Amino acid sequence: YLAVYGQDKIIKLNISNPSDISYVGEYQSSTYLDGAWGVYVSGSYAYVTAQNVDRLTILDVSGNNPTFVNSYQNNTYLDLARGIQVSGKYAYIAAPNRDYLTIFDISNPNNIKLVSAYRDYPRTANVSSVFVSGKYIYLPAQTDVTLTPNTGYLTILDPGIDAPSAT
């Protein structure tokens, strides 16, 4: 799956033979995927961030062409939504414009629930990616890149929710 930023879509590819990658289908929407940036696939669903419209969008990818399931928009907690990872029943999204990590309960894709929004400037400054392993969340962040010396942070969080254990 590829998020195509300038075309507001995701593309589904068959990569079972790396020397013969083929197009399978796509979903395009300037409403739900304007500035499509991050995509994470888990089971039959693709979870897509759209930075221009501050959204998390869930698509059913069980068929050739993905279909819309639901979307959650928030101009503060998802401002410039980029990085996404899904672990268990939670989606973790990095939104660098206002320096937030936002956690959603996606156990029911038709009813996305905001669980938490975390901001700790400068430790979450410009956070644009997120990695979850076991019960921990790893957030790489960087303060103003015009400053000398450049300052970066790696914040490790224990969100205190029932994240799956590492296997």
Whether the ω angle into residue 18 lies within 30 degrees of 0, i.e. cis, is no
pLDDT of residue 147: 58
What confidence category does residue 167 fall into, taking pLDDT thresholds of 50, 70 and 90?
Answer: very low
Rounded to two decimals, the pTM is: 0.89
Query: What is the token pair recorded at 34?
Result: 């304007």
Q: How far is CA 69 from the centre of its chain?
A: 16
pLDDT in tens, 4-30: 999 999 999 999 999 999 999 999 999
89-93, 115-119, 157-161: which range is least confident on average? Answer: 157-161
